[in-house]
Structure 1
Amino acid sequence: MMGCHTKPGCAATCCRGRKDESGPVSSKFCKKHTCDHFYFPIPMKAPRCEFQKDPKDSVCPHHVICTVQGCECPRLQYRDPDNPVFRRYKFCYDHKCALRECPEKRRPDGINQNQFMTYCDNHNCIAEGCHSMVQAGRSCCERHTCGRPGCMAITVNQGRFCRTHNVCEWPDCHQPKTDPHNLCRIHTQCSTAGCTVLKQIGSMHCANHTCFLRGCNNSTGAFRLCTSHRCQFASCNEHRRTAPGALHCPSHSCRSRGCRNGVEEETPYCEAHACEAPGCRLEAKLEWEHKCLDHFKRRYESVGEARLIDEVRELRQVLGERMAVIQDQEECIRRQDAMIRRFGCCN
């Protein structure tokens, strides 16, 4: 009986399949055992592979290794959607483009020998040292694409703009821009006298001299707010009240409605609206003789009581005087009566 290895057909041990003779050159193995490098040698003029492969793989053990020179890692596999077999890319995981559907080799680093970028030449940003993927239809990633709308050129000097658009936008200035501004170093310097720090975006001053009120371009000096928005009370760094014409913060503003005068923090009302009574913290009114309502009432109660006492005293004095007159008149009448009685009896 002839052994299975002597049977005509596929040269693979114990395989009963027929040799693959579908191409211009016949393989000594069947389709399942013929290495892909028999059909497609790499490089193209290399000898055809004559080694047997596993039926579930696409290449023989000799061609499993990554094609990058010096690499001994196995080539990356993927499942063939048309056949129940694993195909292999030309490169291993470290050398194949990181974009899943791309089979190409990663771009060499260009700086470090034997180092590679993350993507291939078609998908890696062209900026030096950048490992990011390019944007669709562009040659750079988003970070290295010019920030001017519509421009797809690469940025320069690690800035936001390309060489064409990396020019200060100050009139007649041709200096390069300073991130994150659209102006050069000279025109982004804080406008406060003696300060050389960069301006805040949208402000004429640096962070230390920019008024906290949005949209204000006044310098704050040594304070948090500028003189137009800071409380006018000495050494106070708080914002003025929002009322029209207010000049002080809530702590230093008179609480009387419509009053713009300043006060000490422990005093609720200014001199014009504070009660004259010692220790009183209530609001006074002009028509209340610069007193609060309580002390105004008390004053008139005491004034009324004093007036009443004076009136009683005056009445008593008048009554006393009248009583004295009446008594004199009564005495005179008694005398007259006595004389009448006396002389009348003599007659």
Structure 2
Amino acid sequence: MTRYSDYSDTHSDDSRNCLIEGCKKKHAFAQFVDTKIYSKYCYKHTCGKTGSISDGYHCPIPKRESDRYCTEHMRCGESGCREIGEYPGKPGDEYIQWFCARHRCTMPRCPERAHNRQQQRCLRHFMKCTVAGCDRPCHENRDGKLDMFCAAHYGSYKTENKCIWPGCTRRKPGYDGKYCLDHKCELLDCEKSRDPKGAGKLCTLHRCDIPSCPKPIADPKIPDSHHCIDHTCNTRLCIEPRQSGSDFCPSHRCRSPHCRFEARFSKGYCIERHGCSYPMCFNSRSASLGVLSDRCEEHQIPRARRSSAADMPDPSKWERRRNRYSDDVTEAMRRREKEREQRDQPYDPYRYPNWDRYLDD
């Protein structure tokens, strides 16, 4: 198991100091079982690129404190190129050779070296001609996009196989469609062209009707669906667009201003904050002295009557009922206690002359 030094800022006065002038920190080291291999520099000046143990493991070239590697290991991997950069990985990641923009694969997030100068792509992303038996690279169109054929086979196909998009010279993927992959609607089953005014990759039929939204409609199978999920009413089975500032359409949003909850009934109020809690009531809650109730004024009348002093029950009547119930419970407990005492006493024929008749049972 390999263990590395803690790279602390502890200064040392011995001979194992960093060789950078003015730096008095200890040398960095890597420990392999019982062997320590020291670097010529401290952690802040030691290059992150390591080698074999027989070669000293550490890079002999120092680095700046703000960099992870020395200038030699930050140089472009293309022979003769003097560009300097650094692979944008996380600290502690394995070293990967860096390539500049002229010699790196043009595929997004690919750090590999470009293999073909025409396409500027690595071997993994290299695109060959789609003609059977042809290994030539695909032809690059004037707009920078790659065609489906190489330069040799580019003009050998009929013009009816070309994309009909104005100014496009690429080939369409099949004989049933009219547009190439860059100008065809992104949905597989749609052969229409992309919306020329939109920023997305969809046709006008499958793109959200909001002008600045490039997302597809919520359900392409429904003819009346014209908005994406983010702009469609959140009510189940509703495909109407949302109202501005709400998650629901005008029919399903709460009528109260600035409320984002769903209405209990169509064009009504929400049950969470603004609708009357009485069953099947469409009214809003009433507010008395600034306090919002959970019911409307119409359904608060019976509650107000029950709270009046005239309709309240007689307190003395409830007191007599409570005392009578308490006496019944006390008498029942006393009777059960007396029966338990009689069962625990020994048999006395003089006290209980008729006791023997229970023994026959």
Under a length normalisation based on structure 1, what TM-score does the superposition of the two structures give?
A: 0.36
TM-score, normalization by structure 2 = 0.35
Between Structure 1 and Structure 2, whose CA radius of gyration is higher?
A: 1
Higher helix share: 1
